Structure 1
Amino acid sequence: MESPGEPAHPFHGVRALDLFAGPGGLDVAAHFLGLRSLGIEWDRNACETRYAAGLPTIHADVSVMRESRFDEIPTSVDVLMGGPPCQSFSIAGSGAGRRTLNKVREFMHRLVKGDDEAEIDRDLRSFDEDPRTALVLEPLRWLLKAIETRGRDPYKVIVLEQVPSVLPLWQAYAELLRSGEGRLQGVKYEAECWMLKTEQFGVPQTRRRAVLVARRVGLGAVSPPEPTHLPFALHGRRNDAARIGVAADEPTDEPTAESTDEPPTPGTKPSWVSMADALEAASAPEDSPVDGSRFRTGDRMRFFVVSNYGSGGDPKNRGRRLSSEPAFTVTGKISRNKVYRDDAEYRRGASDRFTIPEAGVLQTFPYNFPWSGKDQAQQVGNAVPPRLGMHVLGTALRGTPPTEEELAAATTWPTVSPATVEELRALGCGDGSQCPPPSHKVVRPPRSTAP
């Protein structure tokens, strides 16, 4: 497989555009499916990781790119993907959250209807001072821009993902994309959205994502990706703990029983991928920065992780995950998770921490992915798990899941030369004059006081 930056020009052959690209979760997935992508990312630290990984990137604000630099996007792009920031919708269960969702739906319909965009922007700012709220409209605006720009074709495939609370907006997106009304100019899509559990796709953590997939009418119906693993549930832990003679909240490497409303037929799917399995595999290559030996007792990896967050309304009630289970959702605070090999360490307070490469592995990034820049834990936590991305993109683009060979290849990232990194940085940032301020501060020499 060629390195991401090897072609004569890094933007050559790009088919997918990743809005809000972050360090590259969807781009990594696209790479292992043989699809070249271009990411737009405003955070300079995430851009540094992308450059080091050889991922074509433009360091910019997605709105600025759409409004004034749209012609820089290759005309070969026919796949639009991304996950807009979600903070504005994290309270979707409350009245305020529902009001936000309902209002954003209204703005979406106004955009498609053809209302004045400057007026829509003013109304958005008066409704919600958080600029991130408006960003959920950007994929729709990028589609409308492509439809209305001479020399461009509408995107063939659209893939969007975010936290579960955004699912109602993806449903509104799907309804609009099916309609072909107003500024869509008759362009219609087969569009569906689902809630997916990452551990059901071989990701060694529990994380739920709301996913939208849309394909131009004529390219085939849209179906959800087929889970490869069983869902994880804690219901069986107490029974298993009692069976082996320990308290239910004590660490054990014994797998917990699966418990769902509809128990699966035994043997139909494997159980989840555990933290121990993922870190053990990532420790095997000689050049791996992942060293699982510190978690090993004898010939087995054995530890438990204490959550950063309380549960049941009690901030002091911190849950545990065993090494034989998937990790908690990997967030930007992953480096704060306390890891203990046994209860004796727990009582002494002698905790360990996951390293950045280890946290990346729990997100299913390759063990040797070149995390760079600052705030690396935040980069890891913000990313889409590439393995989930491979299942979603594979289903969206070709109607089939990734092959075993593709999934096996996705554990190792290809080497990128320093020359390619510098070329990508020059293309993505240039002199910094078009990057989001104040990403590249101009340092002027002090004025001379010499006579």
Structure 2
Amino acid sequence: MRSSGTQVHPLDGVRILDLFAGPGGLDVAAHFLGYKSIGIEWDQNACQTRYAAGLPTFHADVSVMRETRFDEIPTSVDILAGGPPCQSFSVAGRGAGRAALDTVKEFIHRLVGGEDESRIDGDLHGLGVDPRAALVLEPLRWLLKAIETEGRDPYRVIVLEQVPAVLPLWDVYAQLLRSGEGRLNGVKYEADCWELKTEQFGVPQTRTRAVLVARLAGSGAIERPEASHLPFNVRRGQGNATQAQMLPTDSGAEPCWLSMAEALDTASSLTGSSIDISRLRTEGKTKFFVVSNYGSNGDPKRRGRRLSSEPAFTVTGKVSRNKLYKNVADYEAGKSDRFTIPESGVLQTFPHNFPWSGKDQAQQVGNAVPPRLGMHVLSEVLRGTVPSKDELTRSRTWPNVPGTTADELRAIGCGDQSQCPPNGHKTGRATRKPAPSPAHLRTTPQNE
């Protein structure tokens, strides 16, 4: 976040390439750990947030960038990261990708085996595989591209995340990376993958992610990131509880996780905070409960409930539909409130003053990787340590970004807009409604 007076180009010293970057969850994590990153993001709204935050960005389709603009990626990049779209794998979606897991595994082997990529693409299209599901192949394509491009070194570190259903694919990735076979050309990695629960890493939200971590062989064994908190029991023995029994009571138990109330209280107390939760305070204490937009235990009419002393539900693009109540009387009277965008960002562990911009901000928040989880994963794979207390404290506030910096990054990311995704910008008065963008270009991750 340097001012233009330092005469440092925004892409100088970039180490991390973030595919499907969204508004910047992994980039925010990298910043507070002292690493510079650049993201590739298709969605113009997410790009607007990234520019305002001072995050270097290419407004581009990931596959197009790899095929025709690979030389624009700084040669200093040695860490490949990303979270491919997960709509078709997510349990919140229709699950077409889950049914295609075995098919996608086959295509992973074919890619590494050296089959012609155009033939692979044709077969994928012919089988009717959801194009978004096929995008989990993109990190592998980028890895192979770096190995096969003269003047480029193999990525030193790889970090990928997705919904838990994708763990079997990450396991195939890990096996192949350890083998060095085929197009890997003898380049071997130490690699492992796990399911990580975000609340165990200080995120005030329950969310499970499938994470793959790999490092060039000879750099030491891969260790699972060390949890800082205990897991939260999302079922809590409610089973067949009635609606009345699901309303909040005071248990008096000490929490073993970071709660919504604690996270919001801390954010609201920071200098210049954009978080004001006075509306949720009773007798000087932040106390409320949340009724989810989603059903519970398979019943769409039975909404789950969380106390303010507990972690939030998974923050999705529909987070603004969750209803907040200060007490049971307000619930019975239908007097509800909603999380604001900054509050939703804090529950994702974004800084309280992160400059959310553009449209569809709730979707941007829900799409993002929680930065606190990213800090733990990146710190372990890059440094073999947990993030320091000072780093975690500093991550609550985002540095001020001059408008000149945002403008410079916009010029780098969009330029004359000729290389941006189709219909990625609205210019002038449209005489007709733009046609929907092709499905294979919709590369913003949907982390539901």
TM-score higher than 0.5 here?
yes
Structure 2 equivalent of residue 133 of structure 1: 133
In the alignment, structure 1 residue 108 sits paired with structure 2 residue 93: no
Task: Choose which of 360, 367, 370 in structure 1 pairs with 2:345.
Answer: 360
Structure 1 equivalent of residue 46 of structure 2: 46
Any residues of structure 2 matched to 1:28-47 within 5 Å, and which? 28-47=28-47
Give the conservation status (yes or no) of the 8 Å contact 2:88–2:98: no
Alignment CA distance shift 1:95-1:418 (3 Å): closer
In the alignment, structure 1 residue 294 sits paired with structure 2 residue 264: no
For 2:148, give the aligned amino acid: E
- Residue 89 of structure 1 aligns to a residue in which SS? coil
Structure 2 equivalent of residue 341 of structure 1: 326
- Residue 233 of structure 2 aligns to a residue in which SS? coil
Give the conservation status (yes or no) of the 8 Å contact 1:29–1:387: yes
Alignment deviations for residues 356-411 of structure 1 (CA, whole Å, 9 cap, x no partner): 00000000000000000000000000000000000000011111110111101100
Number of residue pairs aligned between Structure 1 and Structure 2: 426
Give the conservation status (yes or no) of the 8 Å contact 1:54–1:420: yes
Structure 1 equivalent of residue 143 of structure 2: 143
Structure 1 equivalent of residue 317 of structure 2: 332
Structure 1 equivalent of residue 383 of structure 2: 398
Q: Distance in 2 between matches of 1:275 and 1:363?
A: 10
Q: Distance in 2 between matches of 1:7 and 1:379?
A: 31
* 1:248 Cα offset (Å): 4.2
* 1:274 Cα offset (Å): 0.3
* 1:287 Cα offset (Å): 1.4
In the alignment, structure 1 residue 369 sits paired with structure 2 residue 372: no
Alignment CA distance shift 1:102-1:256 (3 Å): farther
For 1:282, give the aligned amino acid: A
Give the conservation status (yes or no) of the 8 Å contact 2:27–2:37: yes
Give the conservation status (yes or no) of the 8 Å contact 2:203–2:349: yes
In the alignment, structure 1 residue 437 sits paired with structure 2 residue 434: no
- Residue 88 of structure 1 aligns to a residue in which SS? coil
Q: Which has the higher contact order (CA 8 A, sep 6+)?
A: 2
In the alignment, structure 1 residue 387 sits paired with structure 2 residue 407: no
Structure 1 equivalent of residue 442 of structure 2: none
Structure 1 equivalent of residue 434 of structure 2: none
Alignment CA distance shift 1:356-1:73 (3 Å): same
- Residue 246 of structure 2 aligns to a residue in which SS? coil
* 1:92 Cα offset (Å): 11
Any residues of structure 2 matched to 1:12-411 within 5 Å, and which? 12-90=12-90, 97-128=97-128, 130-234=130-234, 248-255=245-252, 271-411=256-396
- Residue 335 of structure 1 aligns to a residue in which SS? helix
Q: Distance in 2 between matches of 1:351 and 1:140?
A: 46
Q: Distance in 2 between matches of 1:152 and 1:441?
A: 36
Alignment CA distance shift 1:61-1:93 (3 Å): closer
Q: Calculate the TM-score normalised by the size of structure 1.
A: 0.90
Structure 2 equivalent of residue 267 of structure 1: none
For 1:252, give the aligned amino acid: T
Give the conservation status (yes or no) of the 8 Å contact 1:174–1:212: yes
For 1:225, give the aligned amino acid: P
Q: Distance in 1 between matches of 2:414 and 2:167?
A: 34
Alignment CA distance shift 1:38-1:28 (3 Å): same
For 1:167, give the aligned amino acid: L
Alignment deviations for residues 393-437 of structure 1 (CA, whole Å, 9 cap, x no partner): 001111111011110110000000000000000110112111001
Give the conservation status (yes or no) of the 8 Å contact 2:345–2:351: yes
- Residue 87 of structure 1 aligns to a residue in which SS? coil
For 1:300, give the aligned amino acid: K
Q: Distance in 1 between matches of 2:83 and 2:23?
A: 12
Q: State the superposition RMSD in angstroms.
A: 2.2
Q: Distance in 2 between matches of 1:304 and 1:94?
A: 29
Q: Distance in 1 between matches of 2:215 and 2:293?
A: 39
* 1:440 Cα offset (Å): 1.9
For 1:354, give the aligned amino acid: F
Alignment CA distance shift 1:445-1:29 (3 Å): closer
Runs of 4+ off more than 6 Å: 4-7, 92-95
Q: Distance in 2 between matches of 1:4 and 1:89?
A: 41
For 2:247, give the aligned amino acid: E
Give the conservation status (yes or no) of the 8 Å contact 2:100–2:129: no
Larger Rg: 1
* 1:234 Cα offset (Å): 4.9
* 1:130 Cα offset (Å): 2.7
* 1:4 Cα offset (Å): 9.1
- Residue 232 of structure 2 aligns to a residue in which SS? coil
- Residue 342 of structure 2 aligns to a residue in which SS? helix
Alignment deviations for residues 292-344 of structure 1 (CA, whole Å, 9 cap, x no partner): 11100012101000011112222111111000000000000001110000011
Gaps of 5+ in 1: 242-246, 258-269, 447-451
Alignment CA distance shift 1:118-1:432 (3 Å): same
Gaps of 5+ in 2: 432-448
Q: Distance in 2 between matches of 1:109 and 1:199?
A: 34
Alignment deviations for residues 168-207 of structure 1 (CA, whole Å, 9 cap, x no partner): 0000100110010010000000000000000000000000
Give the conservation status (yes or no) of the 8 Å contact 2:97–2:130: no
Alignment CA distance shift 1:36-1:93 (3 Å): closer
Alignment CA distance shift 1:102-1:412 (3 Å): same
Give the conservation status (yes or no) of the 8 Å contact 2:89–2:96: no
Alignment CA distance shift 1:14-1:102 (3 Å): same
Give the conservation status (yes or no) of the 8 Å contact 1:237–1:256: no
Alignment CA distance shift 1:400-1:102 (3 Å): same
Give the conservation status (yes or no) of the 8 Å contact 1:307–1:319: yes
Q: Distance in 2 between matches of 1:300 and 1:284?
A: 13
Alignment CA distance shift 1:93-1:178 (3 Å): farther
Structure 2 equivalent of residue 261 of structure 1: none
For 1:191, give the aligned amino acid: A
Q: Distance in 2 between matches of 1:7 and 1:23?
A: 26
